[in-house]
Amino acid sequence: MNPDPFKEGLAAARRGDFPTAADLWRGLAEQGDARAQYNLGYLYANGRGVAQDYPAALTWYTRAAEQGFAPAQFNLGVLYSSDDGVPSDFPAALKWYRAAAGQGDADAQFNLGIAYALGQGVTQDYVQAYRWYDLAATAGQEKAATTRDSIAAELTPEQLAQCQGPAVRK
């Protein structure tokens, strides 16, 4: 029975042996394995087993995200919206949050709510913020219901009626 390098990497990471995990995942990542690309991006973003390197994290997250891997799409949104090692780029952050949100990622939906509530990369729109927070709450994001209800308290009855439509997914 051949060992599974991805699972071996997970086992190494669980025991805190991040350099071994990075070595195991790198080969898979270079072969196009989205899970390994995501995990390698995470190691680079957090300096686990490799020197912290945001451009490398961006590269690996992007490769996984372009294959439709929602966790990588979400983390790209975080990188582009945080100004941590990668210049802020809200249009790019929103692109990746929308991609992950479209796959049901509750944290991406929540972060889209924040973007609309604050007007980050989009026109400030509390109705859209409410809709994204509502989707995130339905998907189980723990802060979304409270945040949605706080937004609702600020809306007019007409705006509340508009909140029943779908969130903007473009």
Tens-place pLDDT, residues 7-22:
999 999 999 999 999 9
Upper half-sphere CA count for residue 144 (Cβ side, 13 Å): 23
Mean pLDDT score, 23-29 = 97
User: Which helix (DSSP H) or strand (DSSP E) does residue 27 occupy?
Assistant: helix 18-30
Does position 167 have pLDDT exceeding 90, yes or no?
A: no
* Residue-level pLDDT at 162: 87
Give 58-125 as a DSSP string. HHHHHHHHTTT-HHHHHHHHHHHHHTSSS---HHHHHHHHHHHHTTT-HHHHHHHHHHHHHTSSS---
Q: pLDDT digit string (tens) for 109-135?
A: 999 999 999 999 999 999 999 999 999
Q: Please, what CATH class does the domain formed by 1-67 belong to?
A: mainly alpha
What CATH superfamily is the domain 77-170?
Tetratricopeptide repeat domain (1.25.40.10)
* Residue-level pLDDT at 169: 55
Contact of 70 with 99, CB cutoff 8 Å: yes
Alpha carbon separation from 93 to 17, 28, 73, 88 (Å, rounded): 31, 26, 9, 8
Which range (15-19, 141-145, 160-164) has the least confidence? Answer: 160-164
Residue range(s) in the chain whose domain bears CATH number 1.25.40.10: 1-67, 77-170
State the pLDDT confidence band at 140, using cuts at 50, 70 and 90.
Answer: very high
Mean pLDDT of the chain: 93
Q: pLDDT digit string (tens) for 61-82?
A: 999 999 999 999 999 999 999 8
